[in-house]
Chain A
Amino acid sequence: MPTSALACAALESALNRYLDLDPDTKARFADLHGKVIGMQILGLGLTLYFVPAPQGLQVLSQFEGAPDTLIRGAPLALARLGRGGGMDGLFNGDISIDGDTETAQRFGEILGDLDPDWEEHLARLTGDVAAHEIGNLARGGRAWASATSQSLEQDLAEYLKEEGQLLPSRYEVEGFMHEVDRMRDDVERLEARLARLTQDRPRAKAAP
């Protein structure tokens, strides 16, 4: 599974946790049911698709067909959108919109009204691609874990109960551990790389 899919999943569950705490905002998103909002993060070659519905938002990493609206911007400009800057970026040229401008604006406004904590999640998505993805996954997952249950046993028990017919087979666990191992190796390589980077550049450098 591509890591960006994992990052999308983590972002989606984080956003929906905020929405569950904020029924008004959730209802405003529900009004956009039937719309697809693309968000292209410039410089990363990453486009996310947001699909609002009564039960919350879905965040997709791929969408066949044209979204109703496509919001383009550099990571910082998009992060400002989520920080309450609303659509200010549109007027100073940091953000551009293709397609249905009204939907984009409504979406941007609602996003701007969300708990600012969520900006950090978007920021993670726009950080160093690998670092953020792994970090986002792990941290998003951890927050989720503490919200639901504490231990592996509990998680498993819940999982087994809920998906009675999907009990993990030996296959499943083996393959899964395999994947976890690979991911750990990736993380170790990344750590070495980041350690070098931090040594080379202890302070003050502009972003590329």
Chain B
Amino acid sequence: MRLQRTLLLLVACAAGAPAALVVGLLARGHAQLDSASVAAAAGALAVAAALSALVARSITRPIAECVRGALEIARGRFGREVPVRARNELGDLALGFNHMSRELARYDAENRRLIHDLEAGYLDTLRSLASAIDAKDPYTRGHSERVAELAAEIGRELGLPRETVAALVYGGILHDIGKIGVPDAILAKRAALTPEERALVEVHPGTGAEIVAGVEFLRGAVPAIRGHHERWDGDGYPDRLRGEEIPLVARIVNAADTWDACTTNRPYQAALAEGDALPLLAELRGTQIDPAVHDALVAVLRRRAAAARAPSAA
């Protein structure tokens, strides 16, 4: 708009000034101006003003449109295009601009696709790693995968950001990776563990966190792995953290892990039906499990049950 004002002023001066000068000279030289020449002068001034406005507008409008398009791209909205109004340099500007915008959108989409593929590839690698752990223990087949899925759903239920939900998926898949260091005989043992055996089992969160700590892309999952056996009341392991001292991702993986353990067969207990597991879960609310996480888990389970009852509606 500033450009339009400046142009309007410039062109109006350039076109109008000579006309005004002529009128001035005429008025001074011949005292009596006939009405015809006054009308002609006024007409010339009016035409000059109208043409100036037209010129100012025809130059300013395409430029303003390009400015708007450039600002939209600057704020990350690739692919915005501007109208091409004329076959001149201004039209060329718009054409070049549109091409650039489309190319940016293409690069952006390509980039996103590559990142997505990369993450999916990582995830596949993690899954096969985790299934190696699940395979050590016949009772936990598919456990890691289910914990990851449930933990991510709880995270979304709590409105956590995308990166935290990703950390929950990775942390869920890898939470028991440290069991790689625990002898198979202990993992499969039906009888109560001796104190020595228990000590061997209880190092697995720390071992797991150490295994994963060197991988930059799994950084967010490390606290989830290390803390997944901490308890809300402070009675867990390995760091005996209490309440909010326990990282939220660890509290969530703990709840998901507990739920999956209750509802699948274990060496020490048969699977509970969901109806029997829910009261058990309620008992753990505020002792083992963060109350807020418990409530989110229950909401997720309700939604799953509703979806299972009405599969056609899903």
Partners in one complex: no
Q: Which residues of B contact A (CB under 8 A)?
A: none
